[in-house]
Structure 1
Amino acid sequence: MGFMQSYAIIGTGAVGGYYGACLQKAGFPVHFLLRSDYDRVKEKGLIVESIYGDFTLPRVNAYRDPSQMPQCDVIIVALKSTQNHLLPQLLKPLVGENSIIILLQNGLNFEREIAKIFPQSFIMGGLCFICANKITAGHIRHLDYQEIVLAEYALNYQSCGITGRMEAIAKDFQKANVKIALKADLLQSRWEKLVWNIPYNSLSVILNATTQAIMGDRHSRQLVEAIMQEVAIGARSCQREISASFIVKMLSHTENMKPYLTSMKLDYNFKRPLEIEGILGNALEMAREKATELPKISMLYQQLKFLDTQNRK
């Protein structure tokens, strides 16, 4: 039996709970930070209904307070980016000398922020392609997909290739039967994910529509494509290239998807804060730093800010 990396999960919702449960099922030591679900999970563990087979973990290491948790080799952050202001205090007790922090979050620029606060740690970005939701406390339903795209952060998003640390984490996830793809350039991967996230998250809220309805109408479909092309302009301002064929792939992938409510639309329906800054604001800011304006995305941003404020009044 070789050395097994220990994992901390910050934010045990659908995504963090699913990946953490898969790692524990495969035999890895996993420590879960919870808030409202703490009592239920401490007592009953985690239930996972999955297209790859249901399973229950009757006992998990559950914590309400990060200062009670051990320092871990790998810390997975699966909180919504609207809660990132809490990260400095949540992570501080968990971060050891060579800790790896993986941000499984939507959007752009969070790695740069965390690297400033924890300069001794290795920071990675994980992009999740998963359909999962939390039914009740400690009960996760995994509907489709589960791949993670993982890349490491280097100062100012320089491309740093595929590191040994990434390969070690990939081995662990493969052992846990989770698909993982390693990428050499985190910023490229982040912009690619925005090609999907910016149009569909924004329009699902603004137009009050599923992805299927958006793709089924000629006008909204044209709008999606125009927004995707503007995301590519943003990427180009950061010296990253998004090909026309990648945009075509995202459009056809969405046409073939099961009808799906985006995470932003679900947040809107439940009157939770929307991830507007992470998904749109930071992309606009990054492009502006390079003297590039993205007018369509800017308009979506302003509309969402208005809707978000009205919705939570």
Structure 2
Amino acid sequence: MKIAVIGTGGVGGYFGAKLAQADNEVTFIARGAHLEAIRENGLLVKSVYGDMHITNVNATDKITDINKADLVLVAVKAWQIKEIREEINHILHSNSIVLPLQNGVLAADELAEVIPAKHIMGGLCRIFSLIEAPGVVNHVGFKPEIVFGERNGSLSTRMGKLTQLFEHAGVAHKASRDIEADVWKKFIFICTSALLAVTKTTYGELRELNETRQMMIALLNEIYAVSQKKGVNIKPNFIDKTIEVIDSVAYDSTSSLTRDVWEGKPSEIDYQNGTVVKLAEQYGVDVPVNRFICNCILPMELKARGKFGG
């Protein structure tokens, strides 16, 4: 299969390498020193499940260099979707699949504002990974998994094709009949990332201290309440299961949003807790913890984007 990986960070780098290793024709989109290192030395993926070194990599910084991809894995930050969707539209043929793997719940809708909806599936991934150095991606936790499904809940032929693709590549996967619910389940979990950023804690530290643990539980319950007002199919015991997962992750684990805030980089706050606040206003739900976190991060976010002060 001819595959375009848009964004060769922790997500795109790992899954793209797995697909390339399985003899698919993969083109990676990267930038700057990361791109140069990949061109010179290949893409090295370190993983707790075994390292991969992909040599002779097809890599570019221009999406339009790609000629008609069968599958487009969209692995950029959520806030970058609007910047690249026009270019993605130009590399599609009539049967191309566009699979967004962003955090948040808006990616598929934002892509569909420009790209014909027939191309877009719902998707998400579960992985703890990051760029360790130019040309090097490090997978540090969670068994990597991709979840995908038709946005109308149907079973389709192309879902079967993706199942075969991921099976052949050794990628854990799930073909979902309710991708909206699956996306929201991940969304609820990852919105704890901003609480880590504000409290300057790891997951272990956050859950260990009773005061921050209670904030975490309140945050999760607020988002669940919003999901129910929106009509998302999530059972009431999901929050307890989410807390169990948080209690099981490595003590020193953080997240990409957490690290971005700490490092003064633009983050996905508007697509995570910011989305919770906006939807809560729309559906009349009170979300004081999520609102407090957004307000705390807002000055840092504006500084990171050069929009604060003189």
Using structure 1 for the length normalisation, give the TM-score.
0.90
Three-state SS of the structure 2 residue aligned to 1:99 is strand
State the partner residue of 1:261: 254
Q: CA deviation at 1:57?
A: 1.4
Q: Deviations over 1:254-286 (max 9, x none)?
A: 112112011111111222111011112233333
Q: Does structure 1 retain, via aligned residues, the 8 Å contact 2:86–2:114? A: no
Q: Does structure 2 retain, via aligned residues, the 8 Å contact 1:78–1:104? A: yes
Q: How many angstroms apart in 1 are the aligned matches of 2:107 and 2:47?
A: 30
Q: Does structure 2 retain, via aligned residues, the 8 Å contact 1:127–1:149? A: yes
Q: How many angstroms apart in 2 are the aligned matches of 1:180 and 1:136?
A: 28
Q: Which structure 1 segments of 5+ residues have no match?
A: 155-159
Aligned pair partner of 1:30 in 17, 26, 29: 26
Q: Does structure 1 retain, via aligned residues, the 8 Å contact 2:82–2:110? A: no
State the partner residue of 1:252: 244
State the partner residue of 2:64: 67
Q: CA deviation at 1:50?
A: 1.7
Cα 1:189/1:287, change in 2 over 3 Å: farther
- Note if 1:298 corresponds to 2:296: no
Q: Deviations over 1:182-203 (max 9, x none)?
A: 21122211221122111x2111
Q: How many angstroms apart in 1 are the aligned matches of 2:122 and 2:203?
A: 25
Q: Does structure 2 retain, via aligned residues, the 8 Å contact 1:191–1:231? A: no
Aligned pair partner of 1:176 in 153, 169, 182: 169
Alignment of 1:1-313 (within 5 A): 5-36=1-32, 37-119=34-116, 121-144=118-141, 145-154=143-152, 160-198=153-191, 200-258=192-250, 259-310=252-303
Q: Which moved more, 1:187-196 or 1:68-77?
A: 187-196
Q: How many angstroms apart in 2 are the aligned matches of 1:88 and 1:274?
A: 19
- How many positions carry a matched residue from both structures? 303
Three-state SS of the structure 1 residue aligned to 2:299 is helix
Q: Does structure 2 retain, via aligned residues, the 8 Å contact 1:161–1:183? A: no
Q: CA deviation at 1:89?
A: 3.5
> After TM superposition, where is structure 1 displaced by more than 4 Å over at least 4 residues in a row?
310-313
Give % identity. 27
Q: CA RMSD in A?
A: 1.8
Q: How many angstroms apart in 2 are the aligned matches of 1:210 and 1:51?
A: 20
Q: CA deviation at 1:174?
A: 1.5
Q: Deviations over 1:100-126 (max 9, x none)?
A: 111110001221121121115421232
Q: How many angstroms apart in 2 are the aligned matches of 1:58 and 1:274?
A: 31
Q: Does structure 1 retain, via aligned residues, the 8 Å contact 2:89–2:114? A: no
Three-state SS of the structure 2 residue aligned to 1:22 is helix
Q: Deviations over 1:195-246 (max 9, x none)?
A: 2111x21111111111110100111111111111111111111112433322
Q: Does structure 2 retain, via aligned residues, the 8 Å contact 1:97–1:120? A: no
Q: CA deviation at 1:75?
A: 0.3
Q: Does structure 2 retain, via aligned residues, the 8 Å contact 1:8–1:75? A: yes
Q: CA deviation at 1:312?
A: 6.1
Q: How many angstroms apart in 2 are the aligned matches of 1:285 and 1:152?
A: 26
Q: Which structure 2 segments of 5+ residues have no match?
A: none
Cα 1:288/1:162, change in 2 over 3 Å: farther
| Equivalent residue letter for 2:164 | K
Q: Does structure 2 retain, via aligned residues, the 8 Å contact 1:146–1:178? A: yes
Q: CA deviation at 1:177?
A: 0.9
